[in-house]
Amino acid sequence: MDKQTSSFRWVVFASVLFTYLLMASQRTAPGLITDQVMRDFQVTASTIGLLTSIQFFVYTGLQIPMGILADRYGPNFFLIVGALLTGVGTMIYSLGTHEFVLFFARILTGTGDATIWVNMVLILGQWFNRKEFVRLIGLAGMTGSLGFLLATVPFSAWISVLGWRPTFFSAGLLLCLCGFLLYLVLLKKPKQLSLTDTVYVKNETSRGKIRTLLQRIFSNRQVWALFCCHFGVVGAYVGFIGSWAVPYGMTVYEMTRSEASQFIMIGLIGALIGAPLASWISSRLGTIKRPYVIIHILTLLGWICFLLFHGNPPVIMLYLLFFMIGFGFGASALTFALVRQTFPINESGLVSGIANTGGFLSAVLLPSIFGMVLDHFPSGVGNVGDGYYYGFITPVLFSIIGLMGIIFIKEKRLVREIE
């Protein structure tokens, strides 16, 4: 029986996306306890920025190797191991008694997290035809936003009830169980059902051919345009909500932790809407680039507004700004629709890894840069928002790079089958 005609493909879809939901939540959940970690471990804002960045640094550094390995050996094994590593890393984080333990835990978590997106894209490519894939990639992007949403009010309430250590330990345990579930769904059950794959073929190439492939891919201008496009729209948002969004609400607007996380949820709602809506609009218009250019412009304008109001926009405006920026992040799934449109499937893992590297390279850079700016402009009487004001220059610059990337992308017109 063919995988793409089997009803079991929906079990695979649900299992993979549920795992992605939990793994995505652990990218930003530590941002809820930034002040507690600073107090408990007596560390500076720069250290917290580095702690946040280290996970994204590992994630970013492994995207290209993961793309090569997934193209060559298949995605199932790496996704299972990734879920287990993320779970173990999260549990170690909850048990940490020294800042070095926290760094080690986030390295493990970042290693596991690095497996999810590239391998998930390839797994969906195995189990669904091209028409289904383009529609489902928007839902996959929305699932990541749901993971970030889970790491706001629900996770904050969980922390309030149990404390941050038991909360993170239980989340890590659940991720380990997801690893076992993926083993059953991706490896064991398909063999029992005798499901065959008519699309994906392992790319058994020699080292020399891999070197030639890398040279050809890295010299392709389209690849670097995709890299910059994802750099601008993903990392500024992920890096900010993963480290400084909640402290920003608490410091500048004197919110409680719960109020600040609830406020940030508006941006995540924008991301939830942006992923499927952007995919639908693109398919209806028969073009990905034109709506994506508009989305990048709106995202840039959103970050510029923070500068225009000296880091302290009216609360009412903040709802709109975070919604706009979140919408742009959700729509970033279009980057991988462009990858699928431009490159053959046996190279899509590598190209997706390069594009994803761009997005999370900016997520690596922003928390640390923001932390250094905040340390340089400490809060005090009359300058509570100065640090954040100067910090917002960084996402503005990142967004300009993203806009330039999407402008230079060359697009083929979408074919009828994806409408």
List the chain pLDDT tens, one digit each, 419 residues. Answer: 677 777 888 999 999 999 999 888 887 787 777 777 777 777 676 777 777 778 777 887 888 888 888 877 788 889 999 999 999 999 998 887 777 888 888 899 889 988 888 888 888 878 887 667 767 777 888 888 788 778 777 887 888 888 878 888 998 999 999 999 999 998 888 877 776 665 554 555 555 567 777 788 888 888 899 999 999 988 788 778 767 788 888 888 888 777 777 777 788 788 888 888 888 888 778 788 889 999 999 999 999 999 998 888 888 888 889 899 889 988 888 888 888 778 877 777 788 888 888 887 887 788 778 888 888 876 654 555 678 888 889 899 999 999 999 999 887 655 444 43
For residue 138, give the H/E element and its range. Answer: helix 130-150
Q: Three-state SS string across 342-397, please?
A: HCCHHHHHHHHHHHHHHHHHHHHHHHHHHHHHHHHCCCCCCCCCHHHHHHCHHHHH
How many CB atoms are closer than 10 A to CB 11?
A: 14
Predicted local distance difference test score (pLDDT) of residue 207: 55
Q: At a CB cut-off of 8 Å and minimum separation 6, what does 94 contact?
A: 164, 165, 166, 167, 168, 169, 172
SS (H, E, C) 161-204: HHCHHHHHHHHHHHHHHHHHHHHHHHHHHHHHHCCECCCCCCCC
End-to-end CA distance of the chain: 27
Strand partners, 196: 2
Helix axes 99-113, 45-73, angle to 10 degrees: 30
Predicted local distance difference test score (pLDDT) of residue 417: 42
pTM beyond 0.75: the answer is no
CA-based nearest residue to 24, from 176, 140, 187: 140
Q: Kindly provide the b/e burial profile for residues 119-149, where b requires at least 16 CB atoms within 10 angstroms of the residue's own CB.
A: bbbbbbbbbbeeeebbebbbbbbbbbbbbbb
Q: Which amino acid is at 207?
A: R
Q: What is the pLDDT of residue 305?
A: 92
At 98, give phi and psi (nearest 5°).
-145, 150
Structure tokens at 256: 């409680």
Residue owning tokens 């065959």? 196
* Closest by CA position to 129, among listed 318, 317, 345: 345
Contacts 24+ apart (CB under 8 A), 205-212: 205/72, 210/68, 210/72
DSSP letter, residue 288: S
pLDDT value at position 278? 87
pLDDT of 294: 94
Q: Does domain 3-198+206-418 have CATH number 1.20.1440.130?
A: no
